[in-house]
Structure 1
């Protein structure tokens, strides 16, 4: 039995139609959902208009092809900027600053509606450069080095006030590096060497003064000791020493009287004995 040729032509067309319908259904289904990543806030954008209904992380429904979901990162983000300026004493200085900031979740709609997704380039970086230049010009070059924490604190305060207008929160700021001219670096190094040499000379002088005072004190102590010893030599002590010497001489005498010409008696230097 032969099959009607019209039926043969109808089957392939029907299959194509079914496949097309299924494809459209799949596309519609795939574009009916949007996922908001962790650490982000989602905002509906319908026909180019932003909706202030904020979406939390997760899967959300949307109108296929006509509606999209944009995501705003609310996690802490780092912005790094290099700024060239002059110090108060007109020294050229390049500053590398790192700022940690975040988007206020409750104000994500205002930020995206008024500024857009490139707010870091439009708002943050220009604000950092302007404020760093302003603060750097208040301090001499040496103070920028020795008072870095004070400089960073002032930059942080000004930047916090500036970015608060755009619902941006400054979490932390770090001055990574100050870079000066080679001539200034050499002058700082020479000054440090001079200070070290001056400190060494001052320490040497103190050591010499201490040693001199020690010698004077020692000499004074010896003189005082000698003075006290002289005060101890009294006529009674001299007489006692003479008696002690005579007693020792008697102990050593063998009973034989010495032969003396001219009738003189033996001479004993009592004064030399009392000096011991």
Structure 2
């Protein structure tokens, strides 16, 4: 009976020792593992799952290979020497097969070691190719050129650029005021041009209307003949007779204007 507790204690001691030494390591989803033996990394990339390691001598290091997002901002100069404050966003991931080189060469810190400097350099280099107004009007071209530079540089270090976005461009107050004034002037110019076109159209309409009326009057004058005039006079007399009630007008202090009327 006394041997049973000793065995239980021994088993527990072994379990505690195994747990402390941790001969197995786990690589979670979205990561790759790199085994180091007394600090020296092996060339094998461990996939997701459970892996054996030599206790005390080896260590399992994780490298994130899932898509990550980084944001940053900085100042640059345009081709016309305008100060441009740019805010950008980058989505990237580590190529799984490059996990060992990223761990060994970049200290498992690709963001600090290579990505941030690469983004800053690419943004400044591309911004210098465009004027401040072109940066606004050709924003898509600016983004595409930055992506091209980033992909070429980061691919050498096992980093893949998934997406790059220019969140915002900010310029100096004086430049913003100049752009606003220019935009207002262009809008006023367009309004004046539209008003002029409207006035020209209305003038042409009035001319066309006047021409039509003149032609109509000319046609009417051509149709007026002496016979037509006499016919109109006879119609007016007939209408006057039809409206007369047969009574003579009362005139006081004077003679009757009609004689021998029964």
1:146-187: per-residue Cα shift (whole Å, max 9, x none)? 211111111011111111111111111011111111111111
Tell me what 1:73 maps to: 64
111-120 vs 173-182, which deviates more?
Answer: 111-120
1:86-136: per-residue Cα shift (whole Å, max 9, x none)? 100000111111111111112222222222211111110000000100000
Relative distance call for 1:228 and 1:23 in structure 2 (3 A) is farther
Relative distance call for 1:156 and 1:239 in structure 2 (3 A) is same
* Counterpart mapping for 1:224-235 below 5 A: 224-233=215-224, 235=225
Relative distance call for 1:46 and 1:188 in structure 2 (3 A) is same
RMSD: 2.9
- Following the alignment from structure 1 to structure 2, what is the Cα–Cα distance between the partners of residues 224 and 75? 83
Say which of 185, 191, 211 aligns to 2:176.
Answer: 185
The 3-state SS of whatever aligns with 2:108 is: coil
What is the number of equivalent residue pairs in this alignment?
240
Structure 1 residue runs of 5 or longer lacking an equivalent are 1-10, 254-276
* Residue 231 of structure 1: how far off its partner (Å): 3.3
* Counterpart mapping for 1:5-154 below 5 A: 22-23=12-13, 25-30=15-20, 31-154=22-145
Normalising to structure 2: TM-score of the pair?
Answer: 0.80
Say which of 191, 213, 218 aligns to 1:222.
Answer: 213
Tell me what 2:199 maps to: 208
Structure 2 residue runs of 5 or longer lacking an equivalent are 243-262
* Residue 78 of structure 1: how far off its partner (Å): 1.1
The 3-state SS of whatever aligns with 2:74 is: strand
